[in-house]
Structure 1
Amino acid sequence: MKEKILVVENEIIIAYDIKTCLEKAGYIVPAIAAYGEQAIAKAAELSPDLVLMDVMLKGEMSGIEAAAEIGTRFNIPVVYLTAYSDQSNLQKAKTTQPFGYILKPFEETQLITTIEIALNKHQTEVVMRKALEKEKEDQKIKNQFFSMISHEFRNPLSNIFTCTELLTDRSHQLTEAKKDEYLNHIQNSVQHLEHLLGDVLLIGKAETGKIQFNPEPLDIEKFCQNLIADVKLTASENHNIIFTVQGSSASKENTITKQTSQAIGLDEKMLRHILINLLTNAVKYSPQGGTINLELFYVPGEVIFRLQDEGIGIPEADQENLFNSFHRCSNVGNIPGNGLGLAIVKHYVELHGGEISFASKPGIGTTFIVNLPI
């Protein structure tokens, strides 16, 4: 579709000549205006791709004033129409940063060429402006990310420093039990740093595209059963983890043969991280225990995992940022975590070409749904 050009011209006959010339060249002329106020109103109404603006207009507002308003409010490029005698006005026009000038009287070739150059110039500026804005936003995110990393590393390092200082300076005053307590703090802090560093490296690889998606045949049901057995080792007796399957992998025609009815192509390492993270979160954020349901659904073209818990839930104010790096919900209290797990989960789901969604109510529980194409 050709671009729309608003013609703003003091002389009505010249305006219609321009309209005919532009339409002959394939452009659309949705309106003609002779007053500055009218031009601004038409620009707001029609959102043209370019405005041809006569410097001298009827009424109290000049073409230069109208162009400045249109450029500021709507970011629409303006090309001026001006007579040779308008030298003083040309100096004023330069302050509005027009995309070109057409001197009267003009030839059709000059008109069309100037418009083409102006449209291309504006499109280039739009692309460059978007790229600059994206670069600024990316830099802002990076700065926030490194600031959060610094904060997250500082706490365990501070604990290690404090405990080692106490063990060094006051060793002769400490009981064996107290020494063991400080050593335990050091070990826990080191483990926390190790996990944090691993998650940071995973986030970095995911965001720079360095993680390769390697789908291989996988017995999903057996895979899930093994994961649950691992999670149960760290869960309390008050947690009841239930795994159920809806449908059958063998029932999907033209997708999986009977001989490989349970072997579905997914990236095992990524899927392990996705489900382990969701399962351990369900346990961790259900401190009083409760039932945790992991359901596997076979549907044509995809598998769906639904995980429900009866835990503390996610406050509404936190839900929008749940998958952001280092974001932790306001109701987690002293429950350990670094806010990177779900960010990595989302990356891994997207590398599968899938989607992750959730629903949650504080005090009632949370449900995550992961859709993965096969």
Structure 2
Amino acid sequence: MVKEKIMVVEDNRPVAEFIQDTLRSSGYDVSDIVSSGEEAVKKAEQLSPDLVLMDIILEGKMDGIEASKQIRDRFNIPVIYLTGHAEENLLQRAKITEPFGYILKPFEGKELHTTIKMAIYKHKKDNELKKRMLELQDSRTAMLNVLEDVTEAREALEKSDRLKNVFIGMMSHELRTPLNVILGYVDILSTDLRSLVNEERREMFDAIVRGGERLKKLVDDIMDISQIEADQMKLYMQPIEADDLVKNCVNEIVIPARNKSLDIIEKYHGDKTHIKVDRLRFPQALGNILQNAVKYTNKGSINITTEVENNIYTITVKDTGKGIKKDFLPFIFALFRQEDEGYKRKYEGAGLGLYVSQRLFTSMGGKIDVDSDEGRGTEFVLSFPASTEKVLIVEEEKPELPDVKRHEEVKKEVERKQTVLVLEDNPANVDYIQFLLRKLQVDYVTAASGKDALECLEENSVDGMLIDISLATGMSGVEFLERVKTQDRFKNIPKIAVTAHAMKGQREEFIKTGFDDYLPKPFKLKDLRELLARTLKGYS
């Protein structure tokens, strides 16, 4: 597969190298790095890159805006602006050049990857439309059809792809970072103070937890959508006993249903029928269906039935809730769509769950149908081929981690308080991690940049390193790892990736890079305790 070629125009060398590393890790080919507008125009003509990442403020007489105008007019190459400036006059000048996107510094690698992907896709579609318009210009009727296609394509692109993908690219980091502090502090407070506070305060704590968990689910759904849209969703398919899998999913709605005085009526096929699915993604998809049944049913029951006929395993979820209007049924699995929209919405939600469920079911070889009428409840029918493969109980494959000594062996070593390096540039997260480490009776030294961390290691002896991946200045967490992992004195010190890059498969990527373990944000006290227990020598 041919990699897209990206040219980077950036006069700050460390920033340019960070962009280059990020692009290469995302599968792009960096054709060149240049630092001036004049050189950018010259190289664009010579190299014909697929896209140019252009800093607005550059050394030399020609700034990024003028260079972008020439590159667009002369070579028809899309440009994305990189800038740390948001002055109105600059933005107005930049707008005239019709860029394919803006990225404000500092930025995340995921945001960069998503914006580039959207820009290349949009440029490709624009070129296809222009080509079609030229080919059909002699036919008035055909031209009108093309113009209609152009209008629809642009409206769809502006309404869906551009806004959605930019939103997706920024969402993970922007929400996971504050979530780490919110959920973490709430966990500490609810554990230590629950017995001391009054009922009203306990209810407030519970509301904060629910709100935080709801935001986390939103982030997870959005990250799933980004993987689905990019055809990057990885599924680990294996034969699993179907009824047991469904029962476990139903157990998750027992308490919410009971709180609304709803009956749950279950009728299972009973045979040991197996279906070949992803054991984590299937409960997620079915869980969305079941949670909606509880959400939209105020009285009555939720019926779950499983059957096997003609080697097809069927799950039926039928509720006695509000139902769905017939004219909305065609849009039930559409992204960002809800029956009640606007200011008069009666139910919360982003309109993501059913879209994710439908795409997951079909990706696993299943089929989902829905029937409903307003005021008469809703029925979802899920169908999967019964699996004929031999069933194996296999633990999920995990990258090898360094051996951890048995507790009995550790006790023989000299007991002392452990010290860890905390490399993190977000002040709130620094405070939170320090608080947790004090609770766990672990000493710490902190640094806000890779350079400061290296200096800190010269002055302090540490037993472990907690390394944030995305740092605003200087080297990234991965670059810091490259600097320390080759030094003999740090060889046996655990190096932990602490990051908001928490999509499925990223743990394995960080382990392959050389990290010894991985702690995704948001995390709680028990998560950090378990991490230290399995990685720090002498800690238990």
TM-score in terms of structure 1 length: 0.51
Q: Which amino acid aligns with 1:230?
A: E
Q: Flag the 1:312–1:69 CA change in 2: closer, same or farther, 3 A.
A: same
Q: Is the counterpart of residue 209 in structure 1 residue 277 in structure 2?
A: no
Q: Which amino acid aligns with 1:141?
A: S
CA distance in 2, matches of 1:228, 1:178: 31
Q: Is the counterpart of residue 312 in structure 1 residue 331 in structure 2?
A: no
CA distance in 2, matches of 1:136, 1:337: 25
Q: Pick the aligned partner of 2:264 from 237, 241, 246.
A: 241
CA distance in 2, matches of 1:137, 1:244: 44
CA distance in 2, matches of 1:180, 1:224: 33
Q: Is the counterpart of residue 141 in structure 1 residue 157 in structure 2?
A: no
CA distance in 2, matches of 1:278, 1:366: 10
Shift of 1:373: 2.8
User: What does residue range 220-369 of structure 1 map to in structure 2 within 5 Å?
Assistant: 220-236=242-258, 238-246=261-269, 261-288=272-299, 290-330=300-340, 333-369=345-381
Q: Which amino acid aligns with 1:361?
A: D
CA distance in 2, matches of 1:325, 1:74: 31
Residue 85 of structure 1: aligned partner: none
Q: Flag the 1:208–1:146 CA change in 2: closer, same or farther, 3 A.
A: closer
Could you say which structure has the larger radius of gyration? 1
SS of residue in 2 equivalent to 1:235: helix
Does the Cα contact within 8 Å between 1:199 and 1:341 map onto a contact in 2?
A: yes
Q: Deviations over 1:83-124 (max 9, x none)?
A: xxxxxxxxxxxxxxxxxxxxxxxxxxxxxxxxxxxxxxxxxx
Shift of 1:279: 1.1
CA distance in 2, matches of 1:180, 1:333: 29
Shift of 1:230: 2.4
Q: Which amino acid aligns with 1:243?
A: E
SS of residue in 2 equivalent to 1:264: strand
Q: Which amino acid aligns with 2:140?
A: T
Q: Deviations over 1:149-201 (max 9, x none)?
A: 799x99xx9xx99xxxxxxxxxxxxx988776665554443222211111111
CA distance in 1, matches of 2:205, 2:243: 41
Q: Flag the 1:275–1:181 CA change in 2: closer, same or farther, 3 A.
A: closer
Residue 383 of structure 2: aligned partner: 371
User: What does residue range 19-168 of structure 1 map to in structure 2 within 5 Å?
Assistant: 71-74=139-142, 137-138=156-157, 140-145=159-164
Q: Flag the 1:338–1:140 CA change in 2: closer, same or farther, 3 A.
A: closer
Q: Is the counterpart of residue 195 in structure 1 residue 217 in structure 2?
A: yes
Q: Which amino acid aligns with 2:308?
A: Y
CA distance in 2, matches of 1:69, 1:194: 51
Among all aligned residue pairs of Structure 1 and Structure 2, give the percentage whose two residues are the same amino acid: 22
SS of residue in 1 equivalent to 2:370: strand
- Structure 2: which 5+ residue stretches go unaligned? 1-135, 183-196, 387-540
CA distance in 2, matches of 1:187, 1:230: 17
SS of residue in 1 equivalent to 2:291: helix
CA distance in 1, matches of 2:233, 2:167: 23
Q: Deviating runs (4+, > 6 A) in structure 1?
A: 129-133, 147-151, 175-181
CA distance in 1, matches of 2:198, 2:266: 45
CA distance in 2, matches of 1:334, 1:69: 50
Q: Flag the 1:308–1:181 CA change in 2: closer, same or farther, 3 A.
A: closer
Shift of 1:236: 1.7
SS of residue in 2 equivalent to 1:325: coil
Does the Cα contact within 8 Å between 2:267 and 2:305 map onto a contact in 1?
A: yes
Shift of 1:301: 4.2
CA distance in 2, matches of 1:193, 1:229: 23
- Structure 1: which 5+ residue stretches go unaligned? 1-67, 77-125, 162-174, 250-260
Q: Deviations over 1:1-39 (max 9, x none)?
A: xxxxxxxxxxxxxxxxxxxxxxxxxxxxxxxxxxxxxxx
Residue 49 of structure 1: aligned partner: none
Q: Deviations over 1:192-223 (max 9, x none)?
A: 22111111111111221221232212111122
Q: Flag the 1:187–1:144 CA change in 2: closer, same or farther, 3 A.
A: same
Does the Cα contact within 8 Å between 2:340 and 2:347 map onto a contact in 1?
A: no
Q: Deviations over 1:39-95 (max 9, x none)?
A: xxxxxxxxxxxxxxxxxxxxxxxxxxxxx998112569xxxxxxxxxxxxxxxxxxx
CA distance in 2, matches of 1:362, 1:148: 33
Shift of 1:302: 2.6
Q: Flag the 1:284–1:148 CA change in 2: closer, same or farther, 3 A.
A: farther
Q: Flag the 1:272–1:179 CA change in 2: closer, same or farther, 3 A.
A: closer
Residue 123 of structure 1: aligned partner: none
CA distance in 2, matches of 1:370, 1:263: 14
Shift of 1:144: 4.5
Q: Deviations over 1:282-340 (max 9, x none)?
A: 1111122x121111121234322111100011123432322122222228954332211
Residue 87 of structure 2: aligned partner: none
Q: Which amino acid aligns with 1:360?
A: S
TM-score in terms of structure 2 length: 0.36
CA distance in 2, matches of 1:148, 1:209: 18
CA distance in 2, matches of 1:365, 1:148: 34
CA distance in 1, matches of 2:382, 2:273: 19
Q: Say how many residue pairs are matched.
A: 228
Shift of 1:146: 5.6
SS of residue in 2 equivalent to 1:236: helix
Q: Which amino acid aligns with 1:201?
A: M
Q: Flag the 1:325–1:148 CA change in 2: closer, same or farther, 3 A.
A: farther
Does the Cα contact within 8 Å between 2:137 and 2:143 map onto a contact in 1?
A: no
